[in-house]
Amino acid sequence: MNINEQSILGRWKEFTLTNDHGMSVSMLDFGGIITKICVPDREGNVENVVLGYKDYKHYEDNPNFFGALIGRVGGRIQDASFEIDGIKYPLETNDGDNHLHGGSSGFHHVIWDAQSFQTDNTVGLMLTHTSLDGAGGYPGNVEVAVTYTLNNDNELILDYAAKTDKSTPLTMTNHSYFNLSGDLKDTVQHHNVTMNSSYFVELDHALIPTGRKLDVSNTTFDFRNGRMLQDGFVTDSEQHLIADHGYDHYFIFDNEGKVVVYEENAGRRLTVRTEQPGMVMYTANGLADRLELAEGLSRKHLGVCFETQSSPASLHNDGFPSVMLKAEDTYNKRTIFSFDVEK
């Protein structure tokens, strides 16, 4: 187990965590951005399984949110506003008339205070930041800590913690784009995904939740017995057309928050376990062509995000997992990304 630290562009630091079994994870103190996750395939070939820029300067804007920590609120907030106790809080409109992923002052654009650590069986990095009252339009001073831990079971553990002095919306996530083919050999069309979710959230044409939960039965949103992602790329059903021939939807977990992803050619399997009530699965439908990534040029459907979180739809609709953090409460959530191979 070891940790390597290097300077990036003279103003950021990149930390690389390496375990004893050929897995490494690299991340920046800027935006908490995961730049690489390198894991073996069934033949033992170690390759990168997340999307990242070839030239690190492109992370400064990062409109695709590659690898970034997202907050205060992951996802879209309708009409870029919300109310607490009858007080309306306007937010930045950075996605049409709506607010996306915390806005331009969101956590993905913060240089976090970083402290690395190591034990006998783990290496990790703790990132801390204080988001001031009024930042991005949100109320409350919020103290945030996000910890990345890599262990010898090839698990990357993300622990999110926060407290606030005023009630405020908060649901953090990570926006890594996974591609288990390794070094971008293929799109994610042949990734098989299994998750226990009977309902997903309907979207309107602006990708804002309508307030309706739709039954997945007999649709290409039913992953309860496993399904190839390409099923959602080729169908002409309305919800896939709204998402530009893919998935960009919030799935509500029936009970256990668990997602299993398998790519047959490389044999890699990713298991996502989370304490969150659901997740947005986004299949890079809007990813522009020909961005210079570390292993080649970008194209549509080149990655898939598993954005474990509560639902910002709860700010405008009843019956959705709440994103509100009260002053007397503490936010603690964990998501684990574990990697293995199927021979």
Domain boundaries, the chain: 2-341
CA–CA gap between residue 227 and residue 214 (Å, rounded):
18
Average pLDDT for 28-51 = 98
Using an 8 Å Cβ cutoff, are 17 and 31 in contact? no
Nearest to 291 by CA among 70, 63, 106: 63
Residue with tokens 């739709």: 214
CB contact set of 259 (below 8 Å; sequence gap of 6+) = 193, 194, 195, 271, 272, 279, 306
Is the CATH number 2.70.98.10 carried by domain 2-341?
yes
Residue with tokens 């007397």: 328
Q: Calculate the CA 221 to chain-centre distance.
A: 19
pLDDT in tens, 96-136: 999 999 999 999 999 999 999 999 999 999 999 999 999 99
Bridge-partner residues for 330, per DSSP?
163
CA–CA gap between residue 87 and residue 82 (Å, rounded):
8
pLDDT at 343: 80
* Beta strand extents in 172-252 (DSSP E only): 173-174, 191-195, 199-203, 209-215, 227-228, 248-252
CA–CA gap between residue 73 and residue 79 (Å, rounded):
14
DSSP 8-state assignment for residue 78? G
pLDDT at 30: 98
Q: Is the pTM of this model over 0.85?
A: yes
Residue type, position 150, single letter = L
Residue type, position 88, single letter = K
Using an 8 Å Cβ cutoff, are 300 and 283 in contact? no
CA–CA gap between residue 41 and residue 24 (Å, rounded):
13
Average pLDDT, the chain: 97
Helix (H, G, I), strand (E, B) or coil at 108: helix
pLDDT in tens, 76-88: 999 999 999 999 9
CA–CA gap between residue 219 and residue 102 (Å, rounded):
32
pLDDT at 334: 98
How many residues are there in the chain? 343
pLDDT at 69: 98
DSSP 8-state assignment for residue 258? E
Nearest to 169 by CA among 131, 211, 125, 202: 131
Residues designated catalytic = 175, 307
Residue type, position 100, single letter = L
pLDDT tier for residue 61 given thresholds of 50, 70 and 90:
very high
CA–CA gap between residue 187 and residue 238 (Å, rounded):
23
Nearest to 274 by CA among 305, 306, 321, 315: 306
